[in-house]
């Protein structure tokens, strides 16, 4: 049977208070699935691709339509099963069970290779769901912006002993759906960013969305703008249309030293995520069609050049880190034996947050009204006033972040805070302070929901980096807790064979039943993160667990 993989349809999420489904939980799933494919949100909605190379919301357009049809007729005592972007059954359950359960890209470990997976994908048997693409809770660049902000704020504290990046500059590359957050994250912290991307469309989009300040015509102009802004301690982000494999070695040759250096191309997927030297995006597409092995060889050569330049900058004093796109692994496979001398950002900057149950937590206004998000912002500034870092972010986001698709917000919230937040939002819906219910979710990149030895679980204290029981336990616990939908994925962020991770969404519709589900889910989900790190021996996690509502055995 022929599959429709491309369409000129324009998908946007419904707004307002009228339901097209039998209840708000089902309506939330429909709206968030549609929002993932909004042209303001998705990288390539015509092909159902949301972000991260080829991360999709549904396997094909027939599957998308079947999911929508199923959600519209799904009862409050039924659960829809979605197998790698395709609906495969509606089963009797109960009102506190999830309305949707999703599994994406899971393969028996022996078969979990790029070659096997993408062959199966081409045959229509599976789908790469990335992280929040295939679990229907992507919110555009803001989703990674806040995590990038947290990472760089931690970097400033760890590396420079400061609370911001004023008077310092960062060299990086990639302005796609993930990397596009980098320039704004740097300027929100008062720093200067030079961001390289070979794709003129990516630069134009970031300028239009106000994530990037200016575009330089060439490297000379870019460096001059950087020097002037650093000297003035003035925040600035500069985009440069060029190839990182050309620019990074040239910066080394000129003896220019950035304070921070990284890369946020989609290097986890070399077929489409990293363009080799001497090629435009269109030329790269032609080259991979004509000779994929030869094309991949050119990609690896270019990536190795960039990696060696990063290592040289590190030796000269730049703070270098891998931002979770599997860049180091690809560089090592391309012959850069010391690629892992580049620090991973989680063990160096984020692990202390994960250990106390803190991670990227998000919510979307199903009404489509931006004022619903602003009302929640104001609630946070009052309810969580003692959390100065959280309130700083909420103020900055309110001033600087443009919504894409459904209005949404993201922040780092920890164990205890998420539960308190969820109850408060549900009360706001009940009391009519918000126009419509709120969908509350999180990134899969979180405290207890992922096993990813090249990113989230790199260098665990007890050596448990590759133990994947934890994300499965996370998903099972969230099902038992009554999350509205739960997902388990393979490969997101770092590529096939490199990670297992789980996600959830719970809907605050103002009812007492929703409040009970929120209480269980938003307590247990970050609580498992604390338990996971306590099991690995982190003292701060053990201390929290001693006074937590959940109990550790023994």
Q: Which residues are catalytic?
A: 411
One-character DSSP codes across 467-512: --HHHHHHHHHHHHHT-SEEEEEESTTT-TTS-EEEEEEEEE-S-H
Helix axes 512-535, 469-481, angle to 10 degrees: 160
Element of type H or E holding 79: strand 78-83
How far are the Cα atoms of 235, 326, 381, 441 from residue 218, in angstroms, in the given order? 20, 28, 43, 41
Element (H, E) at 287: helix 281-290
Separation CA 360–CA 338 (nearest Å): 31
Q: Which residues make beta-bridge pairs with 28?
A: none
Return all residues near 133 (Cβ < 8 A) that are at least 6 apart: 36, 49, 50, 51, 52, 55, 56, 57
d(CA 189, CA 150): 10
Q: Rounded CA gap, 202 and 221, in Å?
A: 19
Residue 19: alpha-carbon gap to chain centroid: 29
Residue 441 per-residue DSSP state: E
What residues pair up with 450 in beta bridges, in sequence order?
501
Q: How far is the C-alpha of 518 from the C-alpha of 516, rounded, in Å?
A: 5
Q: Phi and psi dihedrals of 141, rounded to 5?
A: -65, -25
- Helix (H/G/I), strand (E/B), else coil: 526: helix
Q: What Å distances lie between residue 491 and 61, 162, 242, 424, CA to CA?
A: 23, 35, 29, 34
3-state secondary structure 248-259: HHHHHHCCCCCC
CA 422, CA 419: separation in Å to the nearest integer?
5
Q: Which two tokens stand for residue 554?
A: 């023994």
Rg (CA), the chain: 22
Which residues, including other chains, have CB under 8 Å from residue 345's CB and lie 6 or more apart? 151, 321, 322, 323, 324, 455
Closest CA to 366 of 26, 109, 10: 26
Residues in the chain: 554
């Amino acid at each position: 049977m022929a599959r429709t993989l491309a369409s000129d349809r324009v998908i946007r999420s419904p707004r307002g208070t009228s339901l097209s489904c039998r209840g708000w939980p089902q309506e939330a799933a429909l709206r968030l699935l549609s929002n993932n494919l909004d042209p303001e949100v998705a990288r390539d909605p015509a092909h159902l691709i949301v972000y991260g190379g080829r991360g999709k919301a549904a396997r094909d357009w027939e599957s998308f339509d079947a999911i929508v049809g199923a959600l519209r007729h799904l009862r409050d005592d039924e659960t829809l099963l979605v197998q790698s972007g395709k609906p495969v059954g509606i089963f009797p359950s109960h009102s506190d069970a999830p309305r949707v359960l999703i599994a994406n890209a899971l393969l028996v470990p022996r078969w979990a290779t790029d070659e096997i997976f993408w062959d199966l994908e081409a045959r229509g048997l599976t789908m790469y769901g990335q992280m929040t693409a295939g679990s229907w809770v992507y919110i555009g660049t803001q989703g990674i912006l806040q995590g990038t902000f947290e990472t760089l704020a931690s970097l400033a504290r760890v590396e420079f002993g400061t609370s911001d990046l004023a008077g310092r500059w960062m060299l990086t590359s990639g302005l796609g759906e993930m990397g596009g957050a980098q320039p704004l994250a740097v300027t929100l912290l008062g720093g200067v960013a030079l961001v390289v991307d070979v794709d003129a469309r990516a630069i134009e989009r970031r300028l239009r969305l106000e994530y990037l300040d200016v575009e330089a015509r060439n490297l000379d102009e870019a460096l001059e703008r950087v020097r002037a802004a650093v000297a003035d301690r003035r925040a600035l982000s500069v985009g440069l249309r060029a190839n990182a494999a050309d620019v990074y070695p040239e910066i080394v040759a000129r003896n220019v030293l950035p304070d921070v250096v990284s890369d946020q191309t989609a290097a986890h997927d070399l077929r489409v995520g990293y363009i080799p030297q001497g090629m435009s995006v269109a030329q790269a597409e032609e080259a991979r069609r004509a000779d994929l092995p030869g094309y991949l060889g050119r990609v690896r050569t270019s990536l190795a050049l960039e990696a060696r330049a990063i290592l040289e900058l590190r030796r000269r004093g730049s703070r270098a880190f891998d931002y979770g796109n599997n860049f180091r692994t690809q560089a090592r496979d391309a012959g850069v034996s010391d690629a892992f001398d580049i620090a991973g950002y989680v063990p160096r900057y984020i692990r202390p947050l994960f250990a106390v149950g803190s991670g990227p937590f998000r919510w979307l206004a199903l009404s489509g009204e931006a004022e619903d998000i602003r009302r929640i912002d104001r609630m946070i500034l009052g309810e969580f006033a003692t959390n100065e870092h959280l309130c700083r972010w909420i103020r900055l986001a309110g001033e600087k972040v443009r919504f894409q698709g459904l209005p949404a917000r993201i922040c780092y919230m920890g164990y205890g805070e998420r539960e308190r937040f969820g109850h408060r939002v549900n009360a706001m819906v009940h009391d009519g302070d918000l126009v419509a219910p709120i969908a509350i979710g999180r990134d899969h990149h979180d405290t207890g929901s992922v096993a990813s030895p090249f990113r989230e679980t790199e260098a665990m204290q007890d050596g448990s980096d590759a133990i994947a029981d934890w994300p499965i336990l996370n998903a099972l616990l969230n099902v038992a807790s009554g999350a509205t939908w739960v997902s388990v994925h393979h490969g997101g962020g770092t590529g096939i064979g490199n990670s297992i991770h789980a996600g959830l969404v719970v809907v605050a519709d103002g009812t007492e039943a929703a409040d009970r589900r929120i209480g269980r889910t938003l307590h247990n989900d970050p609580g498992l993160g604390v338990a996971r790190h306590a099991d690995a021996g982190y003292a701060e996690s053990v201390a929290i667990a001693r006074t937590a509502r959940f109990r550790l055995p023994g």
